Amino acid sequence: MSDFHRTAARIGASAAFAFTAPVAHAASFDCAKASTGIERLVCGDAALGSRDEILARLYSGALKVGKREAVEARQRAWLGKAQACATAACLAEAYDERNAELQRSEGGVKVGSDFFCEEPKGNHSILNVVGPVHGFASVSLMSNYVGPGGEEAGDVDTAATDAFLDLRKGTATVLNGRCRLTFERLGADGWKVIQAGTCELQGGVVFAGVYRRLP
């Protein structure tokens, strides 16, 4: 086994190569054997541990669908960035960037669950959710607005956003500049997104609405 495979089997994306270690303390590896600074950060922080489990799921899904060498190369680059982190905040940012990238990939999309919203008229939104995992979830949200000119005339606006949600109190609010999005889980088959502030979305695009899983 290469050095990269040994390292990856212990932090970040262990499921991508060997999902056999017993899972403890909400991480994709055995926290009882944590020995590096990054491992201890992940095992000591519930949000980081959940990010790690989500990453493991997404990476495994990407490997099944994408070009394996390219996916592994991207993961190797991410691993180097993560290993350079000395704080939980730095590591959380690294996880969020990689999870968002993987969740938008073909394999990553299949790992999550899709929820749909077609309000207001002309707006079509898809919310992809991985989780909740121990009270946390990773979401990727894309909305398209088709104006009166129609798609053939190019009268289409699109906006997308990604977020890591702490749902332990029931709802999670994400701030992006002056735009505030609040996510609420409506049981297993729905989500509610509330949009407030100045979100500066193109055309008639909105993120707000009730998202339902298709039957």
Is the distance from CB of 8 to CB of 75 less than 8 angstroms? yes
Supply the Cα-derived Rg of the chain in whole angstroms.
18
Find the Cα–Cα–Cα–Cα dihedral 17, 20, 22, 26, rounded to 10°: 40
List, run by run, the mean pLDDT of 10-residue segments along the chain (215 residues): 38 35 51 75 91 96 90 94 93 97 94 95 95 97 90 87 96 94 96 95 91 89
State the pLDDT at residue 10.
42
Is the distance from CB of 14 to CB of 56 less than 8 angstroms? yes
State the pLDDT at residue 151.
79
Is the distance from CB of 71 to CB of 59 less than 8 angstroms? yes
